[in-house]
Structure 1
Amino acid sequence: MLYGRNEEQARITALIDEARDRRRSGVLLLRGEAGIGKSALLAQAAEGAPRVLRATGIEAESGIAFAGLNQLLWPVRDRLDALPPPQATALRSALGETSPGQDRFATGLAVLTLLADFADAGGPVLCVVDDAQWLDTATAEALLFAARRLAAEGVVMLFAARDDDAFTATGLPELRLDRLPRPDAERLLAARDLTPIVRDRIVREAAGNPLALQEFAAAGNRMQDGSRPLPVADRVLASFQAQIGRLPEATRLMLLIAAAEGRGHMPSLLAAADTFGVGLADLEEAEHARLVEVTGRSIRFRHPLIRAAAYQGAVAARRIAVHRALAESADDLDCRSRHRASAALGPDEDVAAELQATAERARDRAGYGTAAALYRQAADLTPEPAARAARLAAAASIVLQAGRLDEAEEMAVQAEKLGPAVSDRARLGRVHAAVEYERGDPRAASRMMVDRAAGDERAAMLRTGAMYGWTSGELPAVLRAAELLPDDPAVRGLALLARGDHAGGSPLLAGPVAEARAGSGDRVRGAQLALVIGADAAALALAAAEVADGRRHGRVGELANVLQVQAQTQIAAGRHADAEATVAEAIALARDTGRPHREGRLGAVLARVAAIEGDEARLRELIAHAPPPPGGLADSALALLDLGLGRHDDALRRLEEIARGPRRHSTGAQLSAVDEVEAAVRLGRPDVARDAFSRFRAWAEAVKQPWALAMALHCEALVSDSEEPFVEAIRLHEQASRPFERARTELLYGEFLRRSRRRSDARVPLRSALSIFERLRATPWLDRARAELRATGESGPSVPTAPDLVDRLTPQELQVIRLAASGTSSREIAAQLFLSPRTVEYHLYKAYPKLGISSRRELSRLALEPA
């Protein structure tokens, strides 16, 4: 019987009912102090569920990668063969069956698929995870990744965690357990044989904590005076310590050995006990006192506070002796290193080296969080400063991958104070630079990368620093990188572009792009360089190939960056709905992989879409957290919005600032020169228009992209107020794939023809522009095109273009539908989009009515572009 928990029970029951009746999944994190009743709620939920998977965080196993996942999935490990191969490989590695591991988040995807398959095979599944604050980091990351993606599988995940710094910022819905009110506390004690005075004192001392009520009631008149201002958990701990103190010495020693061993592994425990002349029989009185539960294979403390009382109540010398004995009897190397570390009285290179080996085993299985903690512990036990710095540097690098920026920076600072070797100084510089980049200061990151480049990582750091510098406008870092790495054509090309030498720099970037397309170069870098020179087709192909490869091999952690590149190419191609879906996925992955700071940078990518659509409120929301400095995507989008809304003075002011700003050599700034030409012409500023035209033409002629050459002619037509450049620009636009730019050229040409009193001729480009603007939902530009058509004498309202089918879908539905239309199975779609197969089917079910169809077979007759 649980008292005072009706609301909590109802909420958990509703989740389980939804899973059973509607196959909807649900997640809930119960949070509260020790003894507040979290475990009792989990136990009651498990009693009413037919299929339950359980795991309990064990403090002693928090340094063993995937220890919690082994507990949870042990009953269903025979189902691994049915997983997609990359997921099966990742999960087998996590469970210790194979090595090395893959992307650490591929394990979370495998957990999601496994749970979905298990539910699909036999009905709803309840996963119960108690003491989540003690889960090893690798398990916690995998379970949280899966939990955030549950939707329509019929899986319920219940977590319980204490109020402390562990297991926070999970992104899960939480339910905080409050202390019991006095009436419920008295009901809980009603069956106890207590005098009114003692009962009143217990209620007062327990302060509504259910465990305290039970333990104080069990102590009865022997309960210690609790008038001291101690937390309730500490008073319960003291009560357990007093209870243990009344047991025989041999029993206390056995409890200490069990507490120090931590896992309840009977062979290890008994082997260590034998060295002290005690054994299993000495636990009998502890069992009678309900402190522990002993089976033939394991021992379990009834509550974690009992284990803490047994361990903390022993003197330090006895604890150290027990850990030494446990190290000798340990059944595996990881446990041995943990006990040796607990027994160390000071720095010890032998113990530190053993911990490092354990850390490397965890890293090889993709247990990066666990590996970082072990490296840090190894550093603490390392006597020689340079070796300690090396281990701290390794820990900082791994922690950075988990997105824990403050912790990574703190360790890097500690390491630098120890006089690290040259190679470690470079690694620490990379950590500092990555921290600054993630926090939103890419200019500082680029300087750090270039200044600290050394050792084996020198070339890679210089390349990264140059790209950071190019995208952020920290051009001195680009130039310095080119000096230090003269044999790298891409870095030299960026430096020449930074100096304004477009003709010299562009061909140097074209080479690495071509190599990447041929399969002999880095695709991500190739896609980024393709964006720099406006090579839309190459950027889109390389980004799409890298995304597809990352999905196929489960490289979840790497995808956010390349998805950003893909979204930029999709916007250029006029595929705005696809870009929205891509950015939404990238933001979700950034959050899941510990990089929430990237959300502002990703949101700014969509600012151009909002500007084209004339949605000022949304644009400002998207750029609210865009990284500095000025002149980037945010400012270009604001200027385009002003231009579209006819605010030419504001537009020109912004555009002139971009032309003078630190990012003036970027591709975005070059495109903004086109907007500057139009704004200046409309304001009667021919000198400004000619200067902007000259800048853009030099760039366009260097990159030789059809769309750029078309826009250069577009600018020439505006500056010269002549027809021939318009005609040639439209011809070139037909070879390119930038519909918004084409429609703008057609709109201006139509305006020119109408001003020249050639109204009939004007209608042809204006109708084409109107059709494109309608498809892009470019409201301000659409209004201009309609007004111009009316001015030509076009009779009656224009016939609106049929709305694009994809506009009816959510971003997730769009991704699923595109893949399904290409013949990809639901299981393959699930693997690619990091969802469960049942969630894919759910999205298809929701999308079909919006598309006016009823089955997958009918997708083939829809005019959908490929995924």
Structure 2
Amino acid sequence: PRNSPASRGGTTPHTPRNRLGDGSDRFLVGLAVLTLLSDLAADRPVLFLVDDAHWLDPASADALVFAARRLGAEGVAMVFAAREEFDARGLPELPLDGLEDGAAAALLAERASDLAVPVRNRIIEESAGNPLALLELPAALDPGERTGKAPPPAALPVTGRVLAAFGARVERLPERPRLALAVAAAEGTGELGTVLRAAHSLGATAGDLDAAARAGLLRITGAHVAFRHPLVRAAAYQRMPLTTRLSVHTALAEATDGDRRALHRAAASPAPDEDVAADLERAAAAARGRSAPATASSLYEHAARLSPSRDDGTRRLIRAAQSAITGGRTERAAALAERAAEHARDAGPLAELAMVRATAEFERGAPAGTARYLADSAVPIAATDPGLALTLLVMAAGNAWSAGEDGEVRRVAGLAAEIGAAAVGTCVTRAAGETASVAAALVGLGRIAAGDVASGVPLLRGVVAASRTDPFGSLIARLFVLAPALLLGEDEAAAELAAADAALGRQRGLIGALPTTLQVVAQTQVAAGLHRDAAATLAEAGELARETGQRHREGRLAAIAARIAAVEGDEGRCREHAAAAGRSVAEAAAAGACALGLLHLGLGRHDEALRVLDEAASGPARHTAAVVFASADLAEAAVHAGAPHRAEAACERLTEWAAAIDRPWASAVALRCRALLSPGEEAFAAAMRLHEQGGRPFERARTELLYGEWLRRARRRSDARVPLRSALAAFERLGAVPWAGRARAELRATGETAPAPSGGEDPLDRLTPQELQIVRLAASGASNRDIAAQLFLSHRTVEYHLYKAYPKLGVASRAELARFA
């Protein structure tokens, strides 16, 4: 339904907007390739060589590189030989230089011994060490040029020279073999039957194709035609006169169907033609359906060029830009959107362009300023297309929230309120209810941005509850809910919703959505004290974010890693991750700063902790979850720094939030802060009773530590030992070294001989992040193939990691893994 944001192709700013559509499924092809290679390597090692990889179509390149990044224990080696423009991010690269002059001379002496010395030297010079040029340039010379009796051709760049050399060999063919070669070049897929059908309609035969093969320009194997080198095909195609080229593509269009027919019709159309453009548009839609967004983008762009109508051309350019975004080609999408914007006039197309442009900026890691643009684009279509308008507003709100633009958040809230009211006033449908719920949540964010926590929080709680009761029908709406769940401190809800969406993303191959859901999974794992699991989740999310080009997501993930390092007192790691977060959006930068503040607090640097946390609390991202909940750290730092007056505001803010969100752990932490400012047992005791209801073990241990310190100072040493022992045990489980040291020192001060740091290593600490993920899944009962599908690995890699994990854990069988679930 168009009245629901679920029906739109956009997403929230907290989701990877360029990966939520059909294009994400293309990674399943990569997983299938990996599985196939793994099965082939069951009996003996496999070498998979891709020569001239830069000639691959984008979808095939994506799938192959995806598989290569995940090679582990399969007994498979993949080697890509390519020019510099081939994108193989994440794979080790070995740049190759040209052959040295001596080696080049030796090669020519072996393969072209009749060359005159000056000619040989010139070929060595012009080839720049390129082996292909060294072999092909001599073949292009006639006998007089080879012996130096005739002047050689003018100098050209190496590729041009090689292309010209192949072109000369094409020209030597008789007319009909040359025509048959041209048909094969234009056909492009190598299907012998198609080539012969088209060639026959033009007067060429199979014998003519054989003649081209005998000339060494192509090979015929079974039902397949392959050119000796891609440059041979380029030369054959480029040497065709225009009239021949048009005739060849017309013949091929008659010999093919589907997408290929559309492409050949387009190549045979020198002028705009709506019938051909519509055919291309249908082919583009089919490409999107088979998860080939890069191909779809190219087809839409071609359709736009052949559109007689400016409006139709603009619409198709917009689709090309959207497909480019879906395929993760941000810069290309931005360029296409700019071209479309030159002719777009109506509010609807301009709104769709706004989504593409804003997404491009977001993926570049620069959401600031896009919120106003998105909101401005939503206003003209709010009445006619509320679904699209609300999607734009969701994007605008998230971008503004991430960038700390409170004014824009409030403005979006006002616009969303009107759309929500209209949805409620139409009819009682699921789509209308979903729209109203999401719109209300945007209103809630606006109220919080205005400082009205008490009335804003219930609206956020409503959208979280609605999604848990009846999960929203779209990924857009479901992922939007994750941010409110975190802001409300509803760790269980956030974990449940994120885990469900992560499972769905794995099942459907929506890899581009996984960094977002895995980020939330990691945040809830940190809150639950599962640091090792969180580190494994972050490792997977980071790898997927890099593979899908989500630069902004890496900063957010770094902020979570900084938090883990801060709790554990690892200063080097914390500073590294906080710096990475600081290079991201304001929200991530603030979270990284709060992690640094916690690090300083744990290490006893109270003045420095106060400074860092104070800056975050007054910064542009002051309303975000990390900063709000760091109010407890700020209050504690202020008290220990001898500035209790600076703790008052933080304590009041946390108390207000705790009352609004009504989470036991948050209320307990607020009481702890109050006890620091007004020492007394009542607040500590009340906090401990609330902690008994569960949630955030690190915060509970900190309350126990402060309570124990207070009891000891009140000369109640025996009573102090109970919370201090519990705090020490919790800190040791969490690996919170500085906090455990502080608890141990307090225990000694009570007169108890505190136990030395536990030397008993948790067996899980011995596992790598990926081994831990696999062990957890295996312990839950998942088979190796199920695990492989979930983590986008081959089943042999899963087997290998389990083989390595068993001795580390001291187990001998899968059944014994149950205790590690």
For the aligned pair, the TM-score class normalised by the smaller chain equals 0.7 to 0.9
Partner in structure 2 of residue 214 of structure 1: 135
CA–CA distance in structure 2, aligned partners of residues 371 and 666 of structure 1: 38
CA–CA distance in structure 2, aligned partners of residues 668 and 193 of structure 1: 73
CA–CA distance in structure 2, aligned partners of residues 411 and 434 of structure 1: 13
Instruction: State whether structure 2 residue 652 is matched by structure 1 residue 699.
Output: no
Q: Shift of the alpha carbon at 1:205?
A: 5.1
Alignment of 1:495-514 (within 5 A): 495-514=446-465
Change (3 A) 1:852 1:268: closer
Q: Shift of the alpha carbon at 1:479?
A: 1.4
Instruction: State whether structure 2 residue 321 is matched by structure 1 residue 396.
Output: yes
Q: 1:759-792 CA distances to partner (integer Å, 9 max, x unpaired)?
A: 2211111111111111212222222212212222
CA–CA distance in structure 2, aligned partners of residues 603 and 232 of structure 1: 45
Alignment of 1:160-175 (within 5 A): 160-161=81-82, 163-165=83-85, 167-175=86-94
Which one-letter code corresponds to 1:403 in the other structure? G
Contact preservation (8 Å) 1:372, 1:394: yes
Residue 606 of structure 1 aligns to a residue whose secondary structure is helix
Q: 1:281-339 CA distances to partner (integer Å, 9 max, x unpaired)?
A: 33454344322334564433322222222222233233223222322x33222222222
Partner in structure 2 of residue 12 of structure 1: none
Contact preservation (8 Å) 1:707, 1:733: yes
1:313 aligns with one of 239, 249, 271: 239
Which one-letter code corresponds to 2:520 in the other structure? V
Q: Shift of the alpha carbon at 1:729?
A: 0.5
Change (3 A) 1:694 1:211: closer
Change (3 A) 1:280 1:532: same
Q: Shift of the alpha carbon at 1:670?
A: 1.8
CA–CA distance in structure 2, aligned partners of residues 283 and 460 of structure 1: 55
Partner in structure 1 of residue 574 of structure 2: 619
Number of aligned residue pairs = 760
Change (3 A) 1:259 1:636: same
Which one-letter code corresponds to 2:669 in the other structure? M
Which deviates further from its counterpart, 640-649 or 736-745?
Answer: 640-649
Which deviates further from its counterpart, 595-604 or 364-373?
Answer: 595-604
Q: Structure 2 length normalisation: TM-score?
A: 0.88
CA–CA distance in structure 2, aligned partners of residues 615 and 292 of structure 1: 61
Q: Shift of the alpha carbon at 1:356?
A: 1.0
Contact preservation (8 Å) 1:433, 1:449: yes
Partner in structure 2 of residue 468 of structure 1: 399
Partner in structure 2 of residue 480 of structure 1: 411
Residue 81 of structure 2 aligns to a residue whose secondary structure is strand
Alignment of 1:687-726 (within 5 A): 687-726=645-684
Contact preservation (8 Å) 2:402, 2:586: no
1:805 aligns with one of 757, 763, 774: 763
Partner in structure 1 of residue 207 of structure 2: 281
Partner in structure 2 of residue 260 of structure 1: 186
Alignment of 1:38-437 (within 5 A): 103-120=25-42, 122-161=43-82, 163-165=83-85, 167-188=86-107, 189-190=109-110, 194=114, 197=117, 202-203=123-124, 206-218=127-139, 219=141, 221-223=143-145, 225-226=151-152, 228-283=154-209, 285-294=211-220, 297-327=223-253, 329-437=254-362
CA–CA distance in structure 2, aligned partners of residues 399 and 636 of structure 1: 37
2:481 aligns with one of 526, 535, 545: 526
Q: 1:546-589 CA distances to partner (integer Å, 9 max, x unpaired)?
A: 22232233332211101111111111111111111111100111
Residue 173 of structure 2 aligns to a residue whose secondary structure is coil
* Structure 1: runs of 5 or more not aligned: 1-99
Which one-letter code corresponds to 1:757 in the other structure? R
Q: Shift of the alpha carbon at 1:175?
A: 3.4
Contact preservation (8 Å) 1:730, 1:746: yes
Partner in structure 2 of residue 543 of structure 1: 498
Instruction: State whether structure 2 residue 389 is matched by structure 1 residue 458.
Output: yes
Q: Shift of the alpha carbon at 1:347?
A: 2.5
Instruction: State whether structure 2 residue 444 is matched by structure 1 residue 489.
Output: no
Q: 1:318-372 CA distances to partner (integer Å, 9 max, x unpaired)?
A: 3223222322x33222222222222222322222211111111110111111111
Change (3 A) 1:286 1:841: closer
Contact preservation (8 Å) 2:533, 2:772: yes
Change (3 A) 1:634 1:258: same
Q: Structure 1 length normalisation: TM-score?
A: 0.83
Partner in structure 1 of residue 716 of structure 2: 758
Residue 77 of structure 2 aligns to a residue whose secondary structure is strand
Q: Shift of the alpha carbon at 1:415?
A: 0.8
CA–CA distance in structure 1, aligned partners of residues 336 and 131 of structure 2: 40
Which one-letter code corresponds to 2:585 in the other structure? P
Change (3 A) 1:283 1:823: closer
Residue 841 of structure 1 aligns to a residue whose secondary structure is helix
Change (3 A) 1:203 1:536: closer
Contact preservation (8 Å) 1:402, 1:594: no
CA–CA distance in structure 2, aligned partners of residues 102 and 452 of structure 1: 27
Change (3 A) 1:526 1:419: closer
Q: Shift of the alpha carbon at 1:814?
A: 0.7
CA–CA distance in structure 2, aligned partners of residues 164 and 382 of structure 1: 34
Contact preservation (8 Å) 2:317, 2:336: yes
Instruction: State whether structure 2 residue 515 is matched by structure 1 residue 589.
Output: no
Contact preservation (8 Å) 2:89, 2:547: no
Change (3 A) 1:316 1:191: closer
Which deviates further from its counterpart, 656-665 or 188-197?
Answer: 188-197
Change (3 A) 1:692 1:278: closer
Contact preservation (8 Å) 1:771, 1:801: no
Change (3 A) 1:214 1:770: same
CA–CA distance in structure 2, aligned partners of residues 441 and 390 of structure 1: 27
CA–CA distance in structure 2, aligned partners of residues 676 and 206 of structure 1: 67
CA–CA distance in structure 1, aligned partners of residues 121 and 624 of structure 2: 74
Q: Shift of the alpha carbon at 1:164?
A: 5.0
Which one-letter code corresponds to 1:628 in the other structure? V
Change (3 A) 1:242 1:683: closer
CA–CA distance in structure 1, aligned partners of residues 512 and 357 of structure 2: 20
Residue 442 of structure 1 aligns to a residue whose secondary structure is coil
Partner in structure 1 of residue 740 of structure 2: 782
CA–CA distance in structure 2, aligned partners of residues 694 and 211 of structure 1: 74
CA–CA distance in structure 1, aligned partners of residues 132 and 759 of structure 2: 68
Residue 174 of structure 1 aligns to a residue whose secondary structure is coil
Q: 1:262-281 CA distances to partner (integer Å, 9 max, x unpaired)?
A: 33333333333344433333
Partner in structure 1 of residue 10 of structure 2: none
CA–CA distance in structure 1, aligned partners of residues 41 and 155 of structure 2: 49
Change (3 A) 1:805 1:732: farther
Q: Shift of the alpha carbon at 1:715?
A: 0.9
CA–CA distance in structure 2, aligned partners of residues 191 and 765 of structure 1: 85
Change (3 A) 1:263 1:668: closer
Which deviates further from its counterpart, 205-214 or 109-118?
Answer: 205-214
Contact preservation (8 Å) 2:601, 2:637: yes
Q: Shift of the alpha carbon at 1:713?
A: 0.7
Contact preservation (8 Å) 2:774, 2:787: yes
Contact preservation (8 Å) 1:205, 1:226: no
Change (3 A) 1:783 1:227: farther
Residue 651 of structure 1 aligns to a residue whose secondary structure is helix
* Structure 2: runs of 5 or more not aligned: 1-21, 421-438
Which one-letter code corresponds to 2:504 in the other structure? D
